[in-house]
Amino acid sequence: MWNEKQIEEYLKNNLKESRYKHSLSVRDTAVELAKKYGEDEFKARLAGLTHDCAKNMNHKEIIAIIEKNGYNIDMVSRNNPELLHGLAGSIIAKNVMGIEDEDILNSIAYHTTGRKEMSLLEKIIYIADYVEPLRNFPGVDKLRETVYRDLDEGILLSFNNTITYVISLGQLLHRDTIDARNYIIIEKCR
């Protein structure tokens, strides 16, 4: 497996500078959240650092790497290949960087849509991506505050914002996001 220096070098060479800085920031936020919520800090660090490693690939390249690795592409992702950069990233993390940990790979793969029954690490990477300090959008302060108070509550708020925003744009909604939100609500009610 590559060490962090090698991974950083790859990201520097394959991402825009702003995206590289975002990756370091997600890494640090993920570590903070791992400390707070009892996740393995090294796994959070590695998943946060690598989560966007496929972000600069174009749609054709993303679809090619995914199909080459035997995944089916659902209808919504086919219409919006941007949703697939997480899955493509998990393939690169495994095949190029030598990361084998399934939880890390899933956290990279599902960091955009979420999915049902997300692990703690998946939740941390999903939400660190939203609330890392370089992010700036209406409501981000409230979201940050919520995430550090109650992880599931923060993730639910984030899903609600995302779904409402996607609807306002008239875009397709991914089933995985709906499943993820439903599971969080059901978990919270238990």
Residues that bind its own copies (CB under 8 A): 75-76, 79, 160, 163-164, 167, 170-173, 175, 178-179, 181-182, 185-186
* Cα distance between residue 111 and residue 89, in whole Å: 10
**Smallest distance from the beta carbon of 156 to its own copies, in angstroms?**
8
**Smallest distance from the beta carbon of 164 to its own copies, in angstroms?**
6
Task: Find the DSSP H helices in 15-80.
Answer: 17-37, 41-50, 59-68, 75-79
> 109 vs 180, which CB is nearer to its own copies?
180
Q: Rounded to the nearest 10 degrees, how much is the dihedral formed by the CA atoms of 150, 112, 41, 15?
A: -140
Under a CB-based contact definition with an 8 Å cutoff, are residues 109 and 86 in contact? yes
Beta strands in 60-156 (DSSP E): none
**Smallest distance from the beta carbon of 173 to its own copies, in angstroms?**
5
Length reported for the chain: 190
> 76 vs 96, which CB is nearer to its own copies?
76
> 24 vs 172, which CB is nearer to its own copies?
172
Q: Which two tokens stand for residue 94?
A: 């495994």
> 133 vs 139, which CB is nearer to its own copies?
139
Residue type, 51: H
CA 101 to chain centre: 16
**Smallest distance from the beta carbon of 59 to its own copies, in angstroms?**
17
Q: Which two tokens stand for residue 153?
A: 């509550």
> 17 vs 169, which CB is nearer to its own copies?
169
**Smallest distance from the beta carbon of 1 to its own copies, in angstroms?**
37
> 4 vs 74, which CB is nearer to its own copies?
74
Q: Is the dihedral of CA 65, 118, 108, 18 positive or negative?
A: positive
**Smallest distance from the beta carbon of 45 to its own copies, in angstroms?**
33
